[in-house]
Amino acid sequence: MVILKKGILFLCTRNSCRSQMAEGLAKKMLPKNMEIFSAGLEPKGVHPMAIKVMQEIGVGISHQKSKNISEIPINKINLVVTLCGDAAERCPIFPGKVERIH
């Protein structure tokens, strides 16, 4: 049985601003059948300023939480977007064919 993966992971070090904002924007802009995730290598909580800025453009991220990459179902990911140099350097290897963009 072949499992089609249609998931995007936005990865940064702390999963507090950039990746949270990217997750919120992607969920608003991409087709609903896409699974969108964000995670950090050392999660520290969603920054209140990220929530405020996203509210200003009509994207609510206050319900999102900062997650460790170990909490993400990696079998659903086919694209990893790293949003900082640290994440790009420390990004783990994903099983199967997973595209990476920095």
Spatial distance between the Cα atoms of 6 and 21, rounded to a whole number of angstroms: 20
Q: Is 17 a catalytic residue?
A: no
Neighbours of 99 (CB within 10 A): 11
Q: Of the residues 28, 91, 98, 100, which is catalytic?
A: 91
Selecting among 8, 9, 11, 12, the annotated active-site residue is 12
Nearest to 25 by CA among 55, 59, 2: 59
* Catalytic member of 61, 84, 87, 94: 84
Residue spans of alpha helices (H) in the chain: 18-29, 48-56, 85-90
Question: CA-CA distance, 36 to 91, in Å (whole number)?
Answer: 17
Catalytic residues: 12, 84, 91
